[in-house]
Amino acid sequence: MSKLRLITSNLIQDLTKLSADATSIYWVTAFAMKSGVKLVLPALKEALARNTELKILVGDYLYITQPQALELLLKELPGAEIRLHKSSGISFHPKAYLFRSEINNHLIVGSSNLSASALQRGVEWNLYAPAEVSGLVFEEATDEFMKLFYSDSTISLNKETLETYASAYEQANLTVPLSQKWTESEEQEVMFGPIVTESKIHEQPEPYITEPTELTPRPAQVMALDALQETMQDEYDKALVVLATGLGKTYLAAFFAEQFERVLFIAHREEILNQAKASFLHVHPEKKAGLYNAIEKNKDADFVFASIHTLTQKFHLEQFNPQAFDLIVIDEFHHAAAPSYERVLEHFKPKFLLGITATPDRLDNKDVYSICDGNIAIRIHFIDAIQRNWLSPFHYYGVYDDTDYSQIRWLGTGYDEEELSRVQLREEMAEKILQAWIERKQTRTIGFCSTVRQAKFLSNYFEKAGYRSIALSGTTPRNNRMSARKQLESGQLDIIFTVDLFNEGVDIPTVDTLLFARPTESITVFTQQIGRGLRLAKEKSYCVIIDLIGNYRNADTKLTVFTPDSTDKAPLNIIQTSLPGQCVFNLETEIIDLVKEMARKVASHKQRLIYEYFRLKEEMGTRPSYLEYHLKSGIIATNVKKEFGSYVGMLKEAGELNEQELEAFELYKDWLEEVEKTAMSKSYKMVLLKYMLSRGVNHWHEPVKAEEVAPFFAEYLTAKEYRRKIDVIDTDLKKVASLIERMPMTKWSGSSKGKITFENGVLKLNFNVMESVNDIVFEWTKEICEFRLHWYFGKKGEKI
């Protein structure tokens, strides 16, 4: 099989043969049937037995994929990574089979899905290309696969997500029984044309680089470098730096890299990698820098700039020694979703891991805090930067949009584009947008739209009104995009309409007006887009932000981006917030009323905590621990004890406890709440409890003396510099034992309302733990203890 050839039948033979010596197998298929999965299982099982990397992506488009097929994949291929693409009504038709082996690589692209008919006797066309024919196309295909496999439109297949899909599948087929046409004995495949709707285009903007005039850190970078230095001195080995757009995150990383010999810089877009490479070489001209992506494979340079889509592949990751790099930098850290980065971060053992981002919003990016263990070296919000004259002030105008978005179908990640277009592509709406812009605009505007169709519609409407306008998208030729930017800067254009083209990596400092003609679906994207107008520039005194606000999702919470500490704030607090003196914040009366009404109707705080729990459980496929819930959800977990008394109390209210767990909770509720709520001006109580738990499930609740605890206590509090710095102790064990008696033992027994007693040098739990539920109480106590210690010692990062 060394030539390009057409496969019109029995694709299963080629799949079986190529799987036999593959080291990596990547498949993407629009849908999967039980019969097709049964055919490929033997070959895939055998591949897994050889430790082959196996990733399969299946679509949910039109709910044709059978839940039984997914169940088979999940059950029979435990070593594989299976993900489900959520089409949200947008057509999804890829069929590709990629094989990497030690000898050769193979690519098959065509029409065959995972069904018996498509793999055996159906009328199908598939093109097979070995590596000597496909060349770099194979590497590009694997990168594209990874981008799709770990995109926001996919979810991990596990017990929880399978149940959710099966329920949706059953409901969908009650009215349109498409999938029921396939049976075990006979299959009939029907090809469906795509729904006529504009799909979202994820733009890939080119960097618009403005080199600094001198190679010295700016004030914000100096502060961040000092914070990172302190973080390292405190013996943290990973941290997140949050710098507002425009403060120089990439150059910060380049300056920080000076104290490391080899650096790996990871990003999700080629443009970012190329820009970062140029920035690093600008700071370190004597160093060697190289790219590691689908096209280039330079792994021996001092500074390696790698595409996550390439690096996450097993073959490429194994090209690097785990200790190859002293520093790993992950740019645009809010993209560092655990599924795509987990393998990379598990593989490498750097001295330090640095995440940099402008927008780590917990509502949109749950995994950010998990990857850096919740340690934030510094956080500089754009409001803080404006106060220090590092960014331009803004004049914000919220303009009321009377569109009733509650009547537009929500598809989980966004509004139905066809329904949204029907209300957006109206002259009345365009006229309202035009007048709002004319009344408040300055000289150079970027207009953000929902779809390419809306961008073109508004651009044409503005042109007819006599303004110089253009619509740009990811399909616009590069030269045309670059030309449009120059025309905007020179004043030859009044406005550029786009979808998501100017979110990241593009700087046009002279832009002085932003027009939001779209519902805000992502707080992170909204923050990025605001940043496009806050760059300092000559003859620019402030940026005008014109924002159409209606009753769409996030209309209330979006306003909290204007507060440095927006997490869990009431939406209307922004109106009373003290902004920098140069800034103006204006909402039309109808918007104030709308936001108040939305706040009144919003689900209770308890419901939100529970909702985030179930979302995370589905994502993980199992019940998250207390610490996992804190790190990986969009929730500040200390709110759990306020609302439910304890994490286990929340699990009870969510209906997540089985009969035995319910018994344990009712018996030991007071103890769990005691561990959760006991005051911690020092870490001592939880370190004491951690020792007790270290004795194991059968002995954790037994009495304990200070002399017994002292060695563990001293070792734990001196193991890391940040612990030594926060809770200073004398390491003499006699003095440590005396401290334990005076502080955690005496104080906890005095405040625990009889749950703990300390007499004659012995501390004990003043209750018995039933053997039948001991394992459960032990695990719950351990989870709370781990969470509280992590929270206590976590470096949260002070905003400036």
Could you report the per-residue pLDDT of 565-607, keeping only the tens digit for each?
Answer: 644 444 555 555 568 889 999 999 999 888 888 777 655 678 8
pLDDT of residue 417: 81
What is the Cα–Cα distance from 698 to 634, expressed in whole angstroms?
A: 35
What is the Cα–Cα distance from 674 to 748, expressed in whole angstroms?
A: 10
SS3 (DSSP) at 769: coil
371 pLDDT above the threshold of 50: yes
In the sheet that 303-307 helps form, which strands lie side by side, from edge to edge? 289-292, 303-307, 263-267, 327-330, 352-357, 238-243, 376-380
Q: Tokens at residue 772, please?
A: 């039948």
pLDDT of residue 87: 81
Average pLDDT, rounded, for the chain = 86
pLDDT of residue 630: 85
Mean pLDDT of 240-263: 93
1 pLDDT above the threshold of 90: no
| Residue 481: pLDDT band with limits 50, 70, 90 | confident
Q: What are phi and psi of 364, to 5 degrees?
A: -100, -30
pLDDT digits (tens, 9 = 90+) for 151-208: 878 889 999 899 989 988 888 776 544 444 444 333 333 333 332 233 333 334 333 3
Identify each DSSP E strand in 145-258 by its residue range.
154-156, 238-243
C-alpha closest to that of 263 among 305, 206, 309, 217: 305
| Residue 101: pLDDT band with limits 50, 70, 90 | very high
CA of residue 128 relative to chain centroid, distance: 35
728 pLDDT above the threshold of 60: yes
pLDDT digits (tens, 9 = 90+) for 285-304: 999 999 999 989 999 999 99
SS3 (DSSP) at 323: coil
pLDDT of residue 606: 82
What is the Cα–Cα distance from 580 to 206, expressed in whole angstroms?
A: 32
SS3 (DSSP) at 486: helix
What is the Cα–Cα distance from 105 to 131, expressed in whole angstroms?
A: 5
36 pLDDT above the threshold of 80: yes
pLDDT of residue 370: 62
Range scoring the smallest mean pLDDT among 164-168, 546-550, 759-763: 164-168
Which of residues 605 and 641 earns the better pLDDT score?
641
Q: Tokens at residue 307, please?
A: 């595409």
Q: Tokens at residue 304, please?
A: 């390696």
Range scoring the smallest mean pLDDT among 274-283, 289-298, 408-417: 408-417
What is the Cα–Cα distance from 242 to 369, expressed in whole angstroms?
A: 11
Please count the helices (runs of H) and the strands (runs of E) in the chain.
33, 25
Which of residues 570 and 319 earns the better pLDDT score?
319
- Quote the Cα angle for 795-796-800, to 5°: 115
What is the Cα–Cα distance from 56 to 65, expressed in whole angstroms?
A: 13
Q: Are 621 and 158 in contact (CB under 8 A)?
A: yes
Q: Which residue has the tokens 């291929």?
A: 77
684 pLDDT above the threshold of 70: yes
% pLDDT > 90, the chain = 61
8 pLDDT above the threshold of 90: yes
Q: Tokens at residue 700, please?
A: 């954790």
The model carries a pTM of: 0.73
Q: Which residue has the tokens 């004890």?
A: 641
C-alpha closest to that of 344 among 370, 309, 377, 372: 309
pLDDT of residue 194: 30
Q: Tokens at residue 270, please?
A: 């080629």
Mean pLDDT of 396-417: 84
Which of residues 366 and 275 earns the better pLDDT score?
275
Its sign, for the CA torsion 499, 504, 509, 513, is positive
What is the Cα–Cα distance from 438 to 500, expressed in whole angstroms?
A: 23
Residues 6 or more apart in contact with residue 347 via CB below 8 angstroms = 317, 320, 322
Q: How far apart are the first and last CA of the chain?
A: 62
Give the burial class of 294: count Cβ atoms within 10 A of its Cβ; 0-12 exposed, 13-18 middle, 19 or more buried.
buried
Other Cβ atoms less than 10 A from the Cβ of 727: the count is 17
How many CA atoms are closer than 13 Å to the CA of 566, on its beta-carbon side?
26
Q: Tokens at residue 729, please?
A: 């102790």
